[in-house]
Chains A and B, each alone.
Chain A
């Protein structure tokens, strides 16, 4: 989780230095990581039992 916030911080630094494409890529990677963690939580940590 700390890694995600670190990448956010890196992204914000890149935005301030006007590196748009790398910042966009990092932000997409971060949101995909978040999606992965969410799916991990739903399926492995506390699986939904229907």
Chain B
């Protein structure tokens, strides 16, 4: 059971890294640089994955899951905010849809699934899951891919935004409704 939980954590990390890599591909080949809220969603995903990486390297513990939960909830809040922005009249959608949904909608679904997966992993938690066995190749691959995707995000964020907060895209202003008087 111990190695199953650790492998499940590694698989979870690889899924999150795959999602971020797919967003990279979509944005760098078709859409152009990501928006500030897209970066914040990635911060949430990397936060979830970093909590799981702590499980792999330092032993499976509840505080690590708690930090992953916090990342998933914050990231979900950011993606809900972006969905709400773009359903307002006068605001266009940001970027191209993938399988019918925009990236921020996919991000919201990913955070919902992350919360569900974390609940399942917490159900499987036992107090004696301390790190005794060394990492296998699958868990090493998960750690390595997470570090690589973090470096890629760091480079992209630095090249798009510098060290300041990211500039917003030029939003069209919603039309003012003229009063009858």
Contacts and interface: CB of A to CB of B under 8 A. Distances in A.
Interface of A: 1-6, 8-9, 11-12, 15-16, 18, 20, 23-24, 27-28, 30-31, 34-35, 37-38, 40-42, 45-46
A2 B57 CA distance: 25
Contacts, number: 96
B79 to A, nearest CB: 11
A5 B153 contact: yes
Contact of A38 (B40, B46, B57): B40
Contact of A27 (B37, B50, B81, B150): B50
Nearest to B34: A1
Nearest to B58: A20
B78 interface: yes
A15 B157 CA distance: 23
